[in-house]
Chain A
Amino acid sequence: MKTTVKNIGIILLVSAVLAGVANCVHPRKIPWVQKRSDQVEIRAKEQNQKIIGFAQAQEKFRALNALFVDARTAEEFAKGHIPGSVSLPFAHFNGEEYFMTTFDLVDSGKELVIYCSSRECDDGRLLAAELEMLGCTNVILFIDGFDGWEKEGGEVEK
């Protein structure tokens, strides 16, 4: 038993050394520590997407001059969403059931504020990119998402 424990230690140590060396010379090496909650924002900025936080989203919500679009699943939308927002789950973006919704959004000419569940959810960014590709010129990503909205005390409709 003692030998087995010692050998387990040796295997783990050798693996650690190999992993360390490999990640130093790997052509696709990754940082040892990475803040992942910022990844969506970083990608959105790389693609020159417009991003807003809670305060600006709240302003647009109160001014009633923007249409909020919820990129989460229909189930999540049903549990609670930003009042007046339109459900367009990114997972079903190409589905027939949302064809008219997409068409209406593109045709509305309004400013579209897209949101997902949180800062870590990528669906909002992806949906914003798809809508831009379809010709929407005024698409904004609300980066804090529904969780951020709820946490900051924004109104919720069920």
Chain B
Amino acid sequence: MSRQRTIYGITFWIAALILAATFFVGTSKIANPADFAETVYRFQLLPEVFVNLVAIYLPWVEVVSAVCLLFVPRFRTAALWILLLLLIGFTIGIGINIARGADFGCGCFGRNDDAPLSMFHVFRNSGLIALTLIALICKRKIGRLSK
């Protein structure tokens, strides 16, 4: 029982650390909101009126969720759900733009992430989605084993 709990615990923390590191990159979007707003606009998925609002808000959701995932045990599950929904949303957005033939930079990790959109981005996000699901499962298993 204890060994199982340790395995789930280690797996959870590996996944959580990778996810948190990935989403802490949101800080570069916070530092350069105009660049990120340009990225959001290029995706052509939102009405113009929402572009800046999303560009201002989304990086904070990423960073606050990453902080909660690492440092606030009570909010870990909620943070994982938010990250999962964000990743699914990003992946759909990238997929739609690849299908449209768009070749602009992803901007997923701020201004330096300017490699043109490709299936690599979809696979990378799919990996992160899998990691989030693993973290959620481990979290649930740990909770059950603790009871």
Chain B residues touching A, range:
20 to 34
Interface of chain B, main secondary structure: helix
Q: Indicate the member of A4, A7, A14, A28 with the most B CB atoms within 10 Å.
A: A7
A10 on the B face (CB < 8 A)? yes
Chain A residues touching B, range:
20 to 34
B60 adjacent to A15 (CB under 8 Å)? yes
B48 adjacent to A11 (CB under 8 Å)? no
A23 on the B face (CB < 8 A)? yes
CA distance A14 to B49 in the complex (A): 22
Of the A-B pairs whose beta carbons lie under 8 Å apart in the complex, a sample of 14, sorted by A's number, is A7-B78, A8-B78, A8-B81, A10-B75, A11-B65, A11-B79, A15-B64, A16-B60, A26-B33, A28-B34, A29-B33, A30-B37, A30-B55, A33-B49
Q: Which residues of A line the B interface, CB within 8 A?
A: 4-5, 7-8, 10-12, 14-16, 18-20, 22-23, 26, 28-37
Cβ of B33 to closest chain A Cβ, rounded Å: 5
> Which of A16, A18, A37 is in CB contact (< 8 Å) with B48?
A37
A23 adjacent to B64 (CB under 8 Å)? no
Q: Which 10 A-B pairs have the closest CB atoms?
A: A7-B78, A19-B60, A15-B60, A15-B61, A8-B78, A15-B64, A19-B57, A30-B33, A23-B56, A18-B60
Identify the closest chain A residue to B57 (Cβ).
Answer: A19
Q: Cβ of A34: which chain B residues have Cβ within 8 Å of it?
A: 37, 48, 51-52
> Which of B30, B41, B52, B64 is in CB contact (< 8 Å) with A33?
B52
B48 adjacent to A22 (CB under 8 Å)? no
